[in-house]
Amino acid sequence: MTDNLLDESDEQVKPLPASFKTLATFAYLGNGFWSVLFMIFFFLVVTDSNVLLAFFRFKVENEALMAVIYLLAMIFCIIPIAGVIKMSRQNRNGFALYVVPNAIWILYCFWLQNPITIAFGLLSITFIFMFGSFLKYMEY
């Protein structure tokens, strides 16, 4: 009878609770919504910046800079989706993929000093803490 102590572990990874799946669904929807919105803004700036002038009542001075900003914002919305996918596979490294772009988003929301963006920043902080509470179910 051979027992391989390296293969047996005392701690088994617990399955994720159903509440994680609900939280992940809201994260997919929220980040997906923002990424699609930033993609639309990106294509509006690239194709015709006068549409933004008519819609938002501001003139885009530098179309290339605005296009880069919207492209980066779209990427910063897609990376957390990849992080949530990794966390749903019980990979703890997905938490870092979720937190880093959201931390940049939170700083941007508070930098704008608009009550609506501050509310979005606080909502993102809440999601980070809620995902952090599920780290005990994940492994590296």
pLDDT tens-digit readout, 11-26 = 566 788 888 999 999 9
At 57, the amino acid letter reads: R
Sorted by sequence, the CB contacts under 8 Å of residue 18 that are 6+ apart come out as: none
Domain ranges within the chain, ordered by starting residue: 18-137
Looking at residue 86, what is its pLDDT? 92
Decide: 78 and 70 in contact? Cβ < 8 Å: no
pLDDT tens-digit readout, 39-88 = 888 888 778 766 666 666 555 567 777 778 888 889 989 999 999 999 99
Q: How many CA atoms lie within 13 A of 65 on its CB side?
A: 4
Distance CA 51, CA 131 (A): 38
45-57 burial: b if 16+ Cβ within 10 Å, else e:
beeebeebeeeee
Kindly compute the dihedral angle of the four CA atoms of residues 104, 28, 35, 117, in this order, to the nearest 10 degrees. Answer: -50
- Nearest-CA neighbor of 34 among 7, 62, 70? 70
pTM over 0.75: yes
**Residue 117 dihedral angles phi and psi, to the nearest 5°:** -70, -30
Give the CA radius of gyration of the chain: 20
